[in-house]
Amino acid sequence: MKAPRLETRRQLWFTDPSKAIPVAVVPAALAVYSNTFFNPFIFDDLEAIVANPDIQNLAEIGDVLGGSAQTPLGGRPVVALTLAVNYALAGADVTGYHAVNLLVHVLNGLLVFGILRRSSVAPWIAGAVALIWVVHPLNSEAVGYVVQRTELLVALFFLLTLYCTIRGWYAAAVASCLLGMGSKEVMAGAPIAVLVYDGTFLSRSFGEALRERRRLYLGLASTWLVLALLVASGPRAESVRFDADVTAGTYLTTQATVIVHYLRLSVWPDPLVVDYFDWPVASGLADVLPAAILVCTLLGLTAWAVYRRIAAGMLGAWFFLILAPTSSVVPIVTELAAERRMYLPLIAVITFILVAAHRALRTATLPLACAVGLVFGFMTIQRNMDYRTETAIWSDAVGTRPGNARAHNNLATAWLKEGHAEEAIRHLTEAIRLQPGYADARHNLGFTYHVLGRHHEAIRELEIALALDRTLAQARYFLAAAYLALGDRASALEQESMLRALDPPLAEALRKRIAEAGG
């Protein structure tokens, strides 16, 4: 069958404007994210990309896929591979990394539209959901913060798994699920999400879905083995562990307030924060009772709707299944909350609100959706400007959450890079006041004193840092350097001896420095 002539295609677009809706996703995304291309690497980007040798030699594919264990790339070989390709093409030039992030975000927006259309959602509602989601400020961290490509890629493969299942492309669905498992742990919920969708929209029951497509579900379930192997390798053991002060029960209880916070930001995304290091840990259920009641009610309604095979049940299942790995019982001790975790769940929230609004308002829903899209797009453009420098994003974090010790520490580091040592000392002192046992802040304050030639103060802070965390190799190096600057060669040599077990190359550099100082 021949494709229609160009004139015929244009006539189809004019008579059925819904066919042009997905195309609008591309200019909308470009319009709101074009000001991110030159935003610098920040925070975890520096460790995972700029200073990460494992991704800087694409020929060493074993290091690319299996390295970076204690960075955000640990156990996520698919993401590591894409970053390694970026590095092979343009080194540490940040523009290419932002371009790839935006490309994946656009593809995700198109998949959102495609899935909703094939779920019998009206074309304009599907288009409105996709457009609002693409420009929503809550997604700005996932798109504009380079290393959060983890969220973008797992979303791509999660959406592809469902879309391919809907189209009957079962081999492609399993392949997508496998790639998702290698991108981020939240992919664990994908096989269950597919089953809920299948039982709700494609089959007459969940049992029929399993019988009719048993090979598909066996294939999807087999990808859990890959995820289990990746998790068993112990990636990011410093941040994800059960032996921390925050127990599994405490973490689960705390997540009630976190989820309610996520829902509020879905409706009105302001203020946004890049880091929630100071999120309050619940001491008991009484601390979070209203939030817990709301979350449990939503969970109960979701379970009821899934059982009854009501479409809204799929939205609730989508929301809770995707959040489960980060908002349940596995303590992520360094981040109790993170806005980027709402990247995929946000789709369900927007869809539910727009469908409910359409049922209540009818014809008024479309202009309202357009207005919301314009407001959110403008807010995203403004939010992206907060990422223009490290100083800007951490100043924003400190301004929004002044009790965040890590934000003060990171702002101090940014100020120090710009040569503002006194400003750095002010924020490091505040970080230590907020959290006296914060070893990294003590280390950074000691280093700053050393840079300023205030060696006695440097020694005091660095010794406290090492008492809090004896694994801080850099702190031991600069402690030795401070002793050396005061002429205490014996103490410097003592530190060099202890450094050998922590970081042999750094210990060798220190040994040479001591030798040179000794003439």
Total residue length of the chain: 519
CA 120 to chain centre: 31
Give backbone dihedrals phi and psi of 346, rounded to 5 degrees, phi first. Answer: -60, -30
Whether 21 and 121 map to the same domain: the answer is yes
Flag whether pLDDT at 114 surpasses 80: yes
By CB atoms closer than 10 A (0-12, 13-18, 19+), residue 260 is: middle
- Is residue 2 in a domain? no
What is residue 485's predicted lDDT score, i.e. its pLDDT?
95
Reported confidence tier of residue 34, pLDDT bands at 50, 70, 90: very high
Whether 365 and 489 map to the same domain: the answer is no
Q: What is the CATH number of the domain that holds 405?
A: 1.25.40.10
Taking the CA atoms of 455, 459, 460 and 461 in sequence, report the sign of the dihedral they define: positive
Reported confidence tier of residue 116, pLDDT bands at 50, 70, 90: very high
pLDDT digits (tens, 9 = 90+) for 326-385: 999 988 888 999 999 999 999 999 999 999 999 999 889 989 999 999 999 999 999 999
What is residue 234's predicted lDDT score, i.e. its pLDDT?
73
pLDDT digits (tens, 9 = 90+) for 127-177: 999 999 999 999 999 999 999 999 999 999 999 999 999 999 999 999 999
Whether 363 and 398 map to the same domain: the answer is no
What is the mean pLDDT of the segment spanning 289-295? Answer: 98
Whether 353 and 478 map to the same domain: the answer is no
- Is residue 261 in a domain? yes
Whether 272 and 401 map to the same domain: the answer is no
What is residue 237's predicted lDDT score, i.e. its pLDDT?
64
- Is residue 335 in a domain? yes
What is residue 11's predicted lDDT score, i.e. its pLDDT?
43
Domain boundary among 358, 385, 412: 385
- Is residue 427 in a domain? yes
- Is residue 10 in a domain? no
Domain boundary among 385, 420, 435: 385
Flag whether pLDDT at 5 surpasses 70: no
Q: In angstroms, rounded to a whole number, what is the distance separating the alpha carbons of residues 265 and 247?
A: 26
Q: How many other C-beta atoms can be found within 10 angstroms of the C-beta atom of residue 419?
A: 9
Number of compact structural domains in the chain: 2
CB 397 within 8 A of CB 431: no
Whether 361 and 403 map to the same domain: the answer is no
Q: How many other C-beta atoms can be found within 10 angstroms of the C-beta atom of residue 464?
A: 18
Whether 378 and 406 map to the same domain: the answer is no
pLDDT digits (tens, 9 = 90+) for 226-271: 999 999 887 766 666 665 678 999 999 999 999 999 999 999 999 9
Whether 344 and 486 map to the same domain: the answer is no
Whether 217 and 328 map to the same domain: the answer is yes
**Residue 488 structural domain:** 390-517
- Number of Cα atoms under 13 Å in the Cβ half of residue 280: 8
Helix 214-232 and helix 170-181, axial crossing angle in degrees, nearest 10 = 10
- Is residue 409 in a domain? yes
Residues 6+ apart with CB under 8 A from 415: 391, 421, 423, 424, 427
Flag whether pLDDT at 199 surpasses 90: yes
- Is residue 8 in a domain? no
- Is residue 509 in a domain? yes
**Please, where are the H alpha helices in 118-213?**
123-135, 140-144, 149-167, 170-181, 190-197, 206-212
Closest CA to 218 of 186, 178, 174, 180: 174
CB 66 within 8 A of CB 75: no
CB 114 within 8 A of CB 322: no
Whether 373 and 415 map to the same domain: the answer is no
What is residue 4's predicted lDDT score, i.e. its pLDDT?
41
One-letter amino acid for residue 51 of the chain: A
CB 138 within 8 A of CB 265: yes
